[in-house]
Structure 1
Amino acid sequence: MKSENFKRFELKPFLIEALSSQGFTLPTDIQERLIPAIHNGRDVIGQSQTGTGKTLSFLLPILDKIDPNTHEVQAVITAPTRELAGQLFDELKKLLDFCPEDEQIQAKLLVGGTDRARAIDSLKVQPQIVVGTAGRMADLIEEKALQVYTATMLVVDEADQMLDMGFIADVDKVASRMAESLQMMVFSATIPEKLQPFLKKYMTDPRHVQVEPKHVTAINIEHRIIPLRHREKIKFIVELAKSINPYLAIVFTNTKEQADEVADAMHGAGLNVERLHGGLQPRQRRQVMKLVKEVKVQYLVATDLAARGIDVKGVTHIINYGLPKDLDFYIHRVGRTARAGLDGIAFTIYEDHDQQAIEKLLKRGVKFTYYDFKQGEWVKLDRAPLGVPGKKKTSRSIETSIKTTTKPKEQKRTGGKAVAKSKKVKPAYKKKARFKQAKEEQRQRRKKK
């Protein structure tokens, strides 16, 4: 079988079988470069975007190194959000399902928002692997329920997000209680300068692998950019959402207040919508994700907090209520659609102040198509509206156009004879007449179109 390409990593047979069942054939670039390093006990930094296969690049060698006969914590995997921790745990379970009965490996998911007493009770027998949020793990370590002093492997997934959300201190608490001979694996889309002190504290000569995707976003995503103009934004987004009739659309906002406003407006318009942001109670967030996974929701309004934590099948449309301040989030947002070879469309509502951000995305390789949405119909624009980069700009005004294109009249030669002065006219009369004529001509051209 083609999955035998993974055999050269000398992985346990059940892992090869698990890969075959999921249809994985060739290792990705990051897997090719990191699995041997992790297998040999090196600290690693994997710098890559979503969809590069980084999760398997650490799960496979970790599972290969776990001793199923030793009932103590051997590996700790941390994530910034409950949703992402849940996804990592789901991927782990897919591999563990193929464990032989006499070599069963136990794993536990430990995240905030769940019953603390139940979590403590579940740890009476220590699992070999724990996956979860650093805050909950730190609490359970303080309670002496979770014993990580035996663990020699630590994964910090989405480290830049950990830093942004203020969770690095919790990761530090967990790492400081682990075995002295600690092997740390850090994965992140970016490696901010503020992360360096933490990395230097725990890592020794790490193998740093940076994988740039061939395309900044999936090639089968159409990026439509739409001017807001003078329209009321929430009303416009509701009209846009109604027009697309998606299988599942995610509407991304920059704040939870915006998410609530948009979700309320969409609900008021009769749309099947749910919301997901940090302001919800853990129980509510779990209920929403369950509805999404069961395809009982057509529209999900979410903040960037959930952008890296949503990995559901069937997302056909992304709607950006506005561009994010951190443009990496644009890549993460649109990465929720066009998966597994399917097509997807990403709509972005832009305003004049978004010009610089759009220019940066264009330079990064995002190919926008320019559209407007008028009276329930999509209108493709031949060129970008005024002030939008990437296309030839139109003239600022008709008058400016006249000034730059009208040549000064040549003076007639008279052979030295006196020439009668032309009659006086009101100031700027000719200019106004030319302006009026040009405006009328433009109106006629539009009418013909």
Structure 2
Amino acid sequence: MSFEEIGINNEDLLEKLYILDYNDPTPIQKESIPVILENRDVLGCAQTGTGKTLAFCLPIIQQLLQEHTTHNKTVSTLILTPTRELATQISENIGRLIHQTPLKQAVIFGGIPADKQIRRLKKGVNIITATPGRLIDLVKKGHIKLSQVKHFVLDEADKMLDMGFVKEIFTIESYLSPTHQTLLFSATMPNKILDVASKLLNQPQEIKVSPVSSTAVAIDEKIYYVDQRNKKRLLIDVIKNNNINNALIFTNTKRGANFIVKALGEAGIKSLAIHGNKSQEARTKALSYFKKKKIDILVATDIAARGIDIDSLDFVINYEIPPAAETYVHRIGRTGRAGKSGQAISIADGTELDSLKNIEKLIKHSIEEVKEHDFPMMEAEQDRNRMIKKKQKNNRRSSRR
């Protein structure tokens, strides 16, 4: 099935899809595009890397091009994201599609001065991609008017709720035209998402592709068990023994990300970290260096990594097992995209075994253990219980900072 067969008939867009090597629509695109072109609301569930961004951008841009006049400078599309990285990635994708068309866009997020963003807005834009906080601030100051918005997209809605943006979502929605179309996409569909969707969407078409309990078949999953005191040494061994030079490493905390970058540097492995305490400039630089292969490893926390778009990522490494089983699926979904193979390596110590059981229960298969390595797990049960209590105490201290 081609893009033309599902309703994309704009010749300029079709040519750009060909140039960008988008030959055939993915399942989420096949399901979503015709529905969006009918101006229906959508409640979409799809994992990272399924082509979700193009699924909503393509039909919206086609409609805007059909309706657009050179004098139209009103904001007609608003895309809301949880993080500045995701906002930037979506904006880059839109930029490729609207290049050399009358359509204009702006990307709005915090962490940097607003002056440049305000100047861009004053020139007139049709599409805004934004994070909630900065958007509301600029609306209240009169720099953005949303009353003419026809298309409202919430991307990574589950993460927005996890970050506490529920109130902001409804505040933003109140600024919009009462007749707007709403498209809500989420990697997971817990009850809290369904509750928000019931209040925002009008008789939506529900679309589910690759449920969250599944991991992509192209991903080779492996796990190493190790004593906590040897975890860092094992990580370095795994990287060097497998000649890994294109990997995204996940940690559960910002402190952990900094610790890994320091440890890898001492071992002669080039890496940088992205997390909430890093400035926008530092995060952009880290991602740019990784894409340009100036560094071998990018270390990230889950929130900072949401929305990062990296082509042909060979390895995802879980240095720390995520407490939420669904997060494991999100993390390893960064590799094995678009039919390419990828490897997901997890390193678990005795304090993380319960989390691992929950992950294997969710994904409905056991992760293959790598038994042959230099740092096998030797900790006794009482030692593991002691470490769990210590870890919980440290986490409580970190949360108060």
TM-score (norm 2): 0.86
Please tell me the residue identity of whatever aligns with 1:337.
T
Give the stretch that moved more between structures: 257-266 or 208-217.
208-217
Match of 1:369 in 2: 368
Partners in 2 of 1:37 and 1:213 — Cα distance? 20
The equivalent position to 1:83 in structure 2, one of 75, 82, 85, is 85
1:171: Cα distance to partner? 2.4
The equivalent position to 2:131 in structure 1, one of 130, 133, 139, is 133
Please tell me the residue identity of whatever aligns with 2:98.
L
1:130: Cα distance to partner? 0.7
Match of 2:75 in 1: 73
- Determine if contact 2:231/2:349 at 8 Å carries over to the other structure: no
2:122 is paired with a residue of what secondary structure? coil
Match of 2:318 in 1: 320
Larger radius of gyration, structure 1 or 2? 1
Match of 1:426 in 2: none
1:367: Cα distance to partner? 5.2
Moved over 6 A (4+): none
Please tell me the residue identity of whatever aligns with 1:36.
P
Give the stretch that moved more between structures: 239-248 or 257-266.
239-248
Partners in 2 of 1:345 and 1:10 — Cα distance? 34
Unaligned runs of 5+ in 1: 380-384, 388-449
Match of 2:224 in 1: 226
- Determine if contact 2:6/2:30 at 8 Å carries over to the other structure: no
Partners in 2 of 1:327 and 1:260 — Cα distance? 24
- Determine if contact 2:213/2:329 at 8 Å carries over to the other structure: no
Cα separation, partners in 2 of 1:221 and 1:10, compared to 1, 3 Å: closer
TM-score (norm 1): 0.77
1:307: Cα distance to partner? 3.3
Post-superposition Cα deviations, 1:29-72, rounded to whole Å, max 9, x if no partner, equal 22222222211221111011122222122111111221321221
Partners in 2 of 1:230 and 1:367 — Cα distance? 22
Cα separation, partners in 2 of 1:200 and 1:341, compared to 1, 3 Å: closer
Match of 2:178 in 1: 180
Q: Does 1:335 align with 2:337?
A: no
1:10: Cα distance to partner? 4.9
2:307 is paired with a residue of what secondary structure? coil
Cα separation, partners in 2 of 1:92 and 1:386, compared to 1, 3 Å: farther
- Determine if contact 1:124/1:145 at 8 Å carries over to the other structure: yes
Partners in 2 of 1:166 and 1:11 — Cα distance? 39
Partners in 2 of 1:321 and 1:335 — Cα distance? 16
Unaligned runs of 5+ in 2: 382-401
1:374: Cα distance to partner? 3.2
- Determine if contact 2:47/2:212 at 8 Å carries over to the other structure: no
Match of 1:200 in 2: 198
2:273 is paired with a residue of what secondary structure? strand
- Determine if contact 1:112/1:133 at 8 Å carries over to the other structure: yes
- Determine if contact 1:14/1:98 at 8 Å carries over to the other structure: no
Please tell me the residue identity of whatever aligns with 2:369.
Y
Cα separation, partners in 2 of 1:341 and 1:34, compared to 1, 3 Å: closer
The equivalent position to 1:95 in structure 2, one of 93, 97, 103, is 97
Cα separation, partners in 2 of 1:122 and 1:98, compared to 1, 3 Å: closer
* Higher RCO structure (Cα 8 Å, ≥6 apart): 2
- Determine if contact 2:254/2:301 at 8 Å carries over to the other structure: yes
- Determine if contact 1:226/1:373 at 8 Å carries over to the other structure: no
Please tell me the residue identity of whatever aligns with 2:41.
D
Cα separation, partners in 2 of 1:208 and 1:8, compared to 1, 3 Å: closer
Post-superposition Cα deviations, 1:138-183, rounded to whole Å, max 9, x if no partner, equal 1111111111111121000000000001123222222111112121
Cα separation, partners in 2 of 1:230 and 1:109, compared to 1, 3 Å: closer
- Determine if contact 2:106/2:117 at 8 Å carries over to the other structure: no
- Determine if contact 1:276/1:285 at 8 Å carries over to the other structure: yes
Partners in 1 of 2:183 and 2:369 — Cα distance? 42
- Determine if contact 1:256/1:277 at 8 Å carries over to the other structure: yes
1:342: Cα distance to partner? 3.5
Partners in 1 of 2:6 and 2:115 — Cα distance? 44
Partners in 2 of 1:144 and 1:312 — Cα distance? 36
Cα separation, partners in 2 of 1:230 and 1:294, compared to 1, 3 Å: closer
1:110: Cα distance to partner? 1.2
Give the stretch that moved more between structures: 240-249 or 160-169.
240-249
* Structure 1 residues 90-169: aligned runs within 5 Å: 90-97=92-99, 99=101, 104-169=102-167
- Determine if contact 1:109/1:130 at 8 Å carries over to the other structure: yes
Provide the identity percentage: 33
Partners in 2 of 1:339 and 1:32 — Cα distance? 17
Partners in 1 of 2:175 and 2:282 — Cα distance? 33
Give the stretch that moved more between structures: 170-179 or 224-233.
224-233
Post-superposition Cα deviations, 1:353-388, rounded to whole Å, max 9, x if no partner, equal 444443444342455222135349xx9xxxxx999x
Cα separation, partners in 2 of 1:112 and 1:317, compared to 1, 3 Å: same
Partners in 1 of 2:228 and 2:193 — Cα distance? 42
1:238: Cα distance to partner? 2.6
Partners in 1 of 2:367 and 2:39 — Cα distance? 44
1:216: Cα distance to partner? 2.5
Cα separation, partners in 2 of 1:132 and 1:32, compared to 1, 3 Å: same
Partners in 2 of 1:33 and 1:260 — Cα distance? 41
1:231: Cα distance to partner? 4.3
